[in-house]
């Protein structure tokens, strides 16, 4: 491969850039390459739109998860209860 | 029809986030939510024998949890005697925090969008049960709790490209799972 990276990327790389972009971690070059790929790849356009929709839904849902320490406590409680019965 | 089996050792990993999210939107107090879930797990262990396997484990746990939440509101209601005591009633907005409003009908809130978001959160967490434990954990840390890629990689001892592969699989699975009802 030449040192200069090519602008044309395959689907798996486009998917990877698209994922990173959902977390705002894609670089400008990555975004550019992805957009270029999307122009001619229908499959990735679909993935990309689903991916953005998923991000949107997750933000909208405002999910609350509980901290690990609490989970550990529950695990202990359950284990204790199982061994005692 | 295959029947569902109970595996109490997996409850926390599989369902605790779902149960927690379910509770927190209804009681709006982390401590209380934790207590109610503890009680739910213990009650579940005690009545394991009665589980017929006709519903999923999660549905069954939720039915116990719902009862715990209702009991909680019933208790807090009867403690206050006549329920219509005002705590922070606010005249300017129509969001008066009447105890009456807080207490009985938590299961059919009027604001439709709030309800839809609750359902959405529950749907997303339910779909996450299709992921394996490690995938689900990593996906939640990255997407919901917003940890850095680096922090997650250190904790799980994986490379960033491992992480992105896991994230990609998780996102594909979730999108497929949610597609029918939410896209």
Question: Could you give the percent of chain B with pLDDT greater than 90?
Answer: 57
**Least confident piece of the model among B9-13, B42-46, B49-53, B100-104:** B100-104
Calculate mean pLDDT across residues A71-79.
93
Calculate mean pLDDT across residues B111-140.
89
**Does B142 contact A at CB distance below 8 Å?**
yes
Q: What's the token pair of residue B39?
A: 């009680």
Query: Which residues of chain A have a CB within 8 Å of the CB of B172?
Result: 47
In angstroms, what separates the C-alpha of A28 from chain B's closest C-alpha? 18
pLDDT band at A2 (very low <50, low <70, confident <90, very high): very low
Calculate mean pLDDT across residues A33-60.
96
pLDDT at res. B111: 64
Cβ-based neighbours of A51, under 8 Å, separated by 6 or more: A18, A19, A22, B171, B175
- Kindly tell me if the per-residue pLDDT of A23 is higher than 90: yes
Q: Which residues pair with B86 in a beta bridge?
A: B98
The residue written with tokens 């809130």 in the block is B109
Region of B135 (left: φ > 0; alpha: ψ -120 to 50; beta: rest) is alpha
Q: Tell me the DSSP string of A24-66.
A: T---HHHHHHHHHHHHH-HHHHHHHHHHHHHHHHHHHHT----
Phi, psi at residue B86, to the nearest 5°?
Answer: -90, 135
User: Mean pLDDT over all residues of chain B?
Assistant: 84
pLDDT at res. B169: 96
pLDDT at res. B1: 44
CA distance B145 to B154: 16
- Kindly tell me if the per-residue pLDDT of B87 is higher than 80: no
Q: Do A78 and B168 touch (CB under 8 A)?
A: no
Calculate mean pLDDT across residues A12-30.
96
Q: What's the token pair of residue A28?
A: 């400008």
In angstroms, what separates the C-alpha of B96 from chain A's closest C-alpha? 23
**Does A43 contact B at CB distance below 8 Å?**
no
Q: Do B183 and A53 touch (CB under 8 A)?
A: yes
């Amino acid at each position: 491969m030449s040192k200069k990276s090519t602008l044309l990327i395959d689907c798996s790389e486009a998917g990877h850039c698209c994922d990173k972009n959902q977390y705002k971690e894609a670089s400008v070059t990555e975004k550019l390459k992805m957009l270029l790929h999307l122009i001619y790849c229908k499959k990735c356009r679909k993935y990309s739109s689903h991916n953005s929709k998923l991000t949107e839904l997750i933000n909208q849902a405002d999910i609350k998860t509980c901290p690990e320490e609490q989970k550990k406590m529950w695990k202990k409680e359950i284990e204790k209860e199982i061994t005692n019965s | 029809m295959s029947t569902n089996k109970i595996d109490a050792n997996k409850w926390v990993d599989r369902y605790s986030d779902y149960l927690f999210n379910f509770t927190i939107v209804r009681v709006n107090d982390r401590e209380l939510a934790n207590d109610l879930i503890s009680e739910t797990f213990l009650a579940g262990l005690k009545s394991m024998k009665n589980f017929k396997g006709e519903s999923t484990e999660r549905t069954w746990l939720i039915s116990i949890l719902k009862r715990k939440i209702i009991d909680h509101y019933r208790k807090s209601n009867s403690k206050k005697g006549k329920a219509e005591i005002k705590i922070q009633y606010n005249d300017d907005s129509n969001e008066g925090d009447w105890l009456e409003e807080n207490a009985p009908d938590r299961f059919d809130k009027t604001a439709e969008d709030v309800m839809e978001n609750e359902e959405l959160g529950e749907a997303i967490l339910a779909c996450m049960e299709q992921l394996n434990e490690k995938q689900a954990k990593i996906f939640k840390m990255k997407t919901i709790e917003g940890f850095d890629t680096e922090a997650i990689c250190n904790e799980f001892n994986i490379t960033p490209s491992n992480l992105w592969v896991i994230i990609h699989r998780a996102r594909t699975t979730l999108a497929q799972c949610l597609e029918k009802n939410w896209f």
